[in-house]
């Protein structure tokens, strides 16, 4: 099904059509799974000129191309490359916009493994990083150096959910010829079309909502026309690609992505409102709530919210009380990652590693991922948990 045909449809319809073509698949609804390294050429001349739609397994297969092309269309990009994990996608994006001697700007609220990559690997390759307050907006101009090549954004931020003023930061970057990369995992292109807002490169941990079942690790990096050649060249130089089976799982997840995100939004808002009214809770850090830093930017630029948010408890609760609460949850699980069908809850404390801002909450902080369980079962589980907290 051609992308021209698809672009006239609304996004939910597009998601059901992208990356497959029954006319080319003996009529079967879904595309076949291609695994492979070697591609056979018909003539010596074809071989010498790499005259073939697919040239070798690392350069792509029909299965990989289906997912890449679907995502390109969904994100409104010029092209997409895949990675075996979300973190792999982040590092690929940064390798595509930096070289030795460059300086980059990173939000203080960035996903922690991204921070570790900048402080470790990028530093060893001669790229220096300055962390900035995610709420800095156009004030970021004061941090630009002659060798600044990249401004990285993540909206909302990991754990603390600050929503950045993306257009203001993009405007500064454009003025200085600096590339922008955003980690758009929380919103996905369904709720925030980063390239439409001028961002050059957009990263998605497909592990989260695209996979949707916690059985898959995958990253996707899309780029606008200007940044696409460098991104593709970087990918081709490293050839770190996901397995074909995981691409098929991601294409399957894509069919229900819109529906699952809308449901995650509804449930996230319901649970966040319920938590906001609890006597144990001081603040809800959910982009759709006024108590979340950058709520006004979310309202202006995003078209929805997903099912991941945080809360700050009132002062006075102890670590021991929190352990009593979390060790005995019946429905909520404790674990990293999110975007699956199951609800998760974890404590967090960013005070130790943030450097441009200070995280001094009035009480203990928790991050919640709301899954597809019955809402009343989830509320009951938290209600019982709060009783143990005291
Ligand atoms: C989970 C996550 C990643 C990394 O994805 P993995 O597939 O787990 O490596 C990157 N960015 C954000 C914002 C994430 O939440």
Q: Is the CB of 250 under 6 A from ligand 1?
A: no
Q: Using most ligand atoms within 8 A of CB, pick from 82, 86, 90 the residue to mutate for ligand 1.
A: 86
| Cα(87) to centroid(ligand 1), Å | 6
Cα–Cα separations (whole angstroms), residue 183 to 89, 194, 198, 287, 389: 9, 9, 14, 16, 34
Residue 2, pLDDT score: 53
Residue 7, pLDDT score: 82
Q: Is the CB of 183 under 6 A from ligand 1?
A: yes
Residue 1, pLDDT score: 53
CA 33 to chain centre: 25
Q: What is the mean pLDDT of the chain?
A: 97
Q: Using most ligand atoms within 8 A of CB, pick from 201, 207, 344 the residue to mutate for ligand 1.
A: 207
Residue 40's nearest CA partner among 52, 24, 28 is 52
Indicate which residue's Cα is closest to atom 4 of ligand 1.
Answer: 86
Provide the pLDDT confidence category of residue 166 given band limits of 50, 70 and 90.
very high
Q: Is the CB of 67 under 6 A from ligand 1?
A: no
Residue 207: CB partners within 8 Å, gap ≥ 6? 85, 86, 216, 217, 218, 219, 337, 339
The Cα–Cα gap between 217 and 210 comes to 10
The Cα–Cα gap between 98 and 86 comes to 19
**Does this model's pTM top 0.75?**
yes
Place of tokens 């001669």: 126
Section 331-345 average pLDDT: 97
Q: Is the CB of 207 under 6 A from ligand 1?
A: yes
* CA angle (221, 111, 324) in 5-degree steps: 135
Decide if pLDDT at 167 tops 90. Answer: yes
User: With contact defined as beta carbons under 8 Å apart, do 106 and 153 qualify?
Assistant: no
Q: Which residues on adjacent β-strands are paired with residue 309?
A: 368
Q: Is the CB of 182 under 6 A from ligand 1?
A: no
Cα–Cα separations (whole angstroms), residue 10 to 77, 198, 299: 17, 22, 21
Provide the pLDDT confidence category of residue 6 given band limits of 50, 70 and 90.
confident
Q: Using most ligand atoms within 8 A of CB, pick from 85, 87, 154, 350 the residue to mutate for ligand 1.
A: 87
Q: Using most ligand atoms within 8 A of CB, pick from 184, 337, 350 the residue to mutate for ligand 1.
A: 337
Tell me: the pLDDT tens digits for 260-279? 999 999 999 999 999 999 99
Residue 339: CB partners within 8 Å, gap ≥ 6? 205, 207, 208, 209, 210, 211, 212, 214, 306, 307, 308, 369
The Cα–Cα gap between 63 and 372 comes to 29
Cis before 156? omega within 30? yes
Q: What is the edge-to-edge ordering of all strands in the sheet holding 103-107?
A: 79-83, 219-223, 201-205, 179-183, 148-154, 103-107, 128-132
Q: Is the CB of 117 under 6 A from ligand 1?
A: no
Tell me: the pLDDT tens digits for 225-271? 999 999 999 999 999 999 999 999 999 999 999 999 999 999 999 99
**Ligand 1 atom nearest to CA at 219:** 7
Q: Is the CB of 306 under 6 A from ligand 1?
A: no
Which residue ranges form the domains of the chain, and what is each CATH number?
3-255 (3.40.640.10), 258-389 (3.90.1150.10)
């Amino acid at each position: 099904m051609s992308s021209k045909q698809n672009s006239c449809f609304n996004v939910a319809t597009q998601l059901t059509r992208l990356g497959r073509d029954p006319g080319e698949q003996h009529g079967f609804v879904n595309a076949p799974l291609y695994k492979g390294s070697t591609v056979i050429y018909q003539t010596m001349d074809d071989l010498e000129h790499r005259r073939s739609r697919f040239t070798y397994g690392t350069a792509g297969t029909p299965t990989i191309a289906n997912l890449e092309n679907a995502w390109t269309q969904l994100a409104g990009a010029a092209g997409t490359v895949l990675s075996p994990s979300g973190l792999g996608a982040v590092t690929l994006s940064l390798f595509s916009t930096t070289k030795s001697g460059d300086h980059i700007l990173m939000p203080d609220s960035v996903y922690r493994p991204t921070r570790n990559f900048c402080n470790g690997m990028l530093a060893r390759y001669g790229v220096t990083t300055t962390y900035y307050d995610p709420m800095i907006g156009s004030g970021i101009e004061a941090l630009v150096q002659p060798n600044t090549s990249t401004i990285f954004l993540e909206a909302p931020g990991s754990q603390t959910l600050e929503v950045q003023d993306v257009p203001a930061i993009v405007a500064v970057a454009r003025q200085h010829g600096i590339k922008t990369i955003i980690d758009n995992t929380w919103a996905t292109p369904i709720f925030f079309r980063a390239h439409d807002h001028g961002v050059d490169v957009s990263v998605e941990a497909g592990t989260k909502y695209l996979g949707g079942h916690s059985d898959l690790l995958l990253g996707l990096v899309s780029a606008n026309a200007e940044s696409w050649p460098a991104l593709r060249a970087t990918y081709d130089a490293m050839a770190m690609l996901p397995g074909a089976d995981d691409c098929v799982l991601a294409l399957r997840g894509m069919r229900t992505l819109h529906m699952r995100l809308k449901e995650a939004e509804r449930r996230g808002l319901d649970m966040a409102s319920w938590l906001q009214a609890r006597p144990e809770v001081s603040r809800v850090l959910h982009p759709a709530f006024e108590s979340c830093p950058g709520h006004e930017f979310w309202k202006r630029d995003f078209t929805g919210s997903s099912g991941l948010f945080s809360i700050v408890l009132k002062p006075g609760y102890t670590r021991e009380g929190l352990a009593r609460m979390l060790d005995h949850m019946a429905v909520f699980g404790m674990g990293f990652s999110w975007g699956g069908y199951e609800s998760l809850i974890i404590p967090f404390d960013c005070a130790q590693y943030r450097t441009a801002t200070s995280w001094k909450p009035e009480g203990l902080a928790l991050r919640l991922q709301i899954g597809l369980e019955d809402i009343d079962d989830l509320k009951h589980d938290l209600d019982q948990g709060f009783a143990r907290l005291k």
